[in-house]
Amino acid sequence: MIIMKKDATPEQVQHVVDEVAKVGLRTDVSRGAYLTIIGLIGDETKADFTHLAALPGVKEARMIEAPYKLINREYSSAYGETGTRVVKIGDVELGGDEPVFIAGPCAVENHDDLFRIAEKCRAAGAQILRGGVFKPRSSVHSFQGLGSAGTEEAIEALTWLRDAGREFGMPVVTEVRGEAQVDLVSHYVDMIQIGARNMYDQDLLQTAARKKLPVMFKRHFGASIEEFLCFSEYIAAEGNKDIILCERGIVPLGKGKNFTRYMLDLAAVPVIQKETYLPIIVDPSHATGRRDLIRSMSLASIAAGAAGLMIEVHDRPEEARCDAAQMIQPSELKDIIDSARQLRKIAVK
């Protein structure tokens, strides 16, 4: 990591970049409001930090020990007092003082359901609309989302999602499940979601990152926090730091019943805040798989310091083609959002 002096010139920055290139490393230049920081991509041990520290315009040059370097908390000085990067999705700011709520149905199923649910989510206080078009499913015999039915159906579903967002003033997010979908999806959404199952898919991460849209990146249910952050680094290394991390539960263990689909690891929220400057949100719907646990886990997430929540909502869950058991009513969403906002003021000072 190389921190430039406040008055460093673009030429001095370029000179540092050139010097680093000589030992075969790439660079990542972050121009924050406060500081310009140059990250190194590749094997840092090849760099001569004593030499780099002596270059004109350089304030400080040192190796970052953690395996996630570009997203490391050591960069947080670039992000002002809270040390958290504020990511803009459309005109919604995530990572600041107010928690942000993402809501919508599990899957985009048809125009009318989507618009009706979107309107109700907006009225309940949600700021970003979600809806799955390409659904990752455990069984090839299950509904895979309209996106998998053919290109035309994918375009239709994505158009509904975009239009519902515009109609009700909400930026939209949907998941890409494979590299081949990134290009198409990026024309319709304000944020790209990479799901838990694809966390380790470094080629998809890089392809998505290059679209220069914010990326919501979910932790795999078999991944340690360290692995999660290491893979976030694949997105950052493409020059895209607009990353929103999302905790959504890890695999349960133990003999006998655990009562929830996954196990929500809420300590991940403050831990990740201490390790990186990226904002972290929580998805209580997939973590628990149970409607009757969404409220308590949502409030617990906010109390733990989460920058936002993503919650699945449906006003007629019995008609939904997936995840019916975990979707809550818009009225419950409103209650959760109201309580969460009050709670945040007590929890985060």
User: Between residue 75 and residue 104, which ones bind a copy of itself under the rule CB under 8 A?
Assistant: none
How far, in Å, are 38, 140, 287, 310 from residue 339 at the CA level? Answer: 41, 39, 20, 15
Residue whose structure tokens are 């898919």: 201
Comparing C-alpha atoms, which of 124, 131, 82 is closest to residue 104?
131
Q: Is there a contact between 175 and 132 (Cβ–Cβ < 8 Å)?
A: yes
For a copy of itself, the closer of residues 220 and 314 by Cβ is: 220
Judged by CB under 8 A, the chain residues 14 through 53 that form the site for a copy of itself are: 41-44
Min CB(215)–a copy of itself separation in Å: 14
The CA–CA distances, whole Å, from 278 to 207, 240, 289 equal 20, 12, 26
Least distance (Å) between residue 306 CB and a copy of itself: 9
Which CB atom, from 55 or from 300, has the smaller least distance to a copy of itself?
300
Binding mask 171-200 for a copy of itself (x = CB under 8 A): ------xxxxx---------------xx-x
List the structure tokens of 83. Answer: 């040390």
Among 60, 224, 316, 319, binds a copy of itself (CB under 8 A): 224
- 79-87, 102-110, 131-139, 322-330 -> range binding a copy of itself (CB under 8 A): 131-139
Q: Which is nearer to a copy of itself, 12 or 329 (CB)?
A: 329
Distance CA 86, CA 100 (A): 11
193 in Cβ contact with 176 (< 8 Å): yes
* Main-chain phi, psi angles of 199, to 5 degrees: -55, -35
Kindly identify the residues of this chain, within the stretch 305-324, that bind a copy of itself according to CB under 8 A.
305
145 touching a copy of itself, by CB under 8 A: no
Phi–psi pair at 132, nearest 5 degrees: -85, 135
Q: Interface residues for a copy of itself in 53-72 (CB under 8 A)? A: 67, 69
CA distance 99 to 94: 7
Q: Which of 11, 139, 152, 318 binds a copy of itself (CB under 8 A)?
A: 139
The torsion angles phi and psi of 54, rounded to 5 degrees, stand at -90, -5
Contact residue for a copy of itself among 11, 112, 140, 318 (CB under 8 A): 140
Residue 103 or residue 336: which is nearer to a copy of itself going by CB?
Answer: 336
Q: Name residue 129's beta-bridge partners.
A: 103, 172
| SS3 state of residue 24 | coil
- Residue list 198-217, contact with a copy of itself (CB under 8 A): 198, 200-204, 207
Stretch that binds a copy of itself, among 48-56, 106-114, 139-147, 152-160 (CB under 8 A): 139-147
CB-nearer residue toward a copy of itself: 71 or 164: 71
Site string for a copy of itself, 237-276 (x = CB under 8 A): x------------xxxxxxxxxxxxxxxxxx-xxx--xx-
CB closer to a copy of itself out of 12 and 155: 155
Retrieve residue 107's tokens: 């899957």
With CB under 8 A as the rule, give the number of residues binding a copy of itself: 81
The two structure tokens encoding residue 253: 């263990």
Of 225, 239, 324, 325, the one binding a copy of itself by CB under 8 A: 225
Dist CA 297 CA 311 (whole Å): 11
Q: Residue 268: is it exposed, middle or buried by C-beta count within 10 angstroms (0-12/13-18/19+)?
A: buried
Choose, by CB under 8 A, the member of 97, 142, 166, 167 that binds a copy of itself. 142
Q: Which is nearer to a copy of itself, 274 or 318 (CB)?
A: 274
- Amino acid identity of residue 19, one-letter, is E
Binding mask 278-307 for a copy of itself (x = CB under 8 A): ---------xx---xx--xx-xxxxxxx--
Q: What is the DSSP letter of 67?
A: S
Cβ–Cβ < 8 Å for 1, 38: yes
